[in-house]
Amino acid sequence: MSQRGHKAFLRNWFSDYLALTLLIAFVSFSCQTRKEKIVQPARSDLAPINDKQKLADTILSARSVNEQVHALKLVPVLCYHQVRDWNGGDSKFERTYIVPVARFKEQMQMLNDSGFHTILPAQLVAYVEKGERLPEKPVLITFDDGSVSQYDNALPELQKHGFIATFFIMTVALNRKDYLSIEQVKELVKQGHTIGCHTWDHHSVTRYKSTDWLVQVKKPTVELEHITGGQIAYFAYPFGLWNASAVDELKKYGFIIAFQLWGKTDEEQPLFTVRRMIADGNWDAAQLSSAIKRNYDR
| Shared-domain flag, residues 150 and 242 | yes
Asked whether residue 144 falls in the same domain as residue 278, the answer is yes
pLDDT tens, position by position, 80-112? 999 999 999 999 999 999 999 999 999 999 999
Q: 0.85 cut: is pTM over it?
A: no
Q: What percent of the chain stands above pLDDT 90?
A: 77
Confidence of residue 262 (pLDDT cuts 50, 70, 90): confident
CATH number at residue 74: 3.20.20.370
**148-to-176, 184, 188, 237 alpha-carbon distances in Å:** 9, 9, 12, 20
Exposed/middle/buried for residue 219 (C-beta within 10 Å: 0-12, 13-18, 19+)? middle
* CB contact set of 291 (below 8 Å; sequence gap of 6+): 277, 280, 283
Question: Do 239 and 263 fall within a single domain?
Answer: yes
112 and 211 share a domain?
yes
What angle do helix axes 52-60 and 17-30 make, rounded to 10 degrees? Answer: 10
Q: Dump pLDDT digits (tens) for 200-253.
A: 999 999 999 989 999 999 999 999 999 999 999 999 999 999 999 999 999 999
Same domain, 56 and 89: no
CA distance to 18, 144, 212, 238, 242, per residue, from 204 (Å): 45, 14, 10, 5, 8
Between CA 256 and CA 121 the distance in angstroms is: 9
Could you tell me the residue range of the domain that residue 180 belongs to? 67-295
- State the Cα–Cα distance between residues 242 and 237, nearest whole angstrom: 7
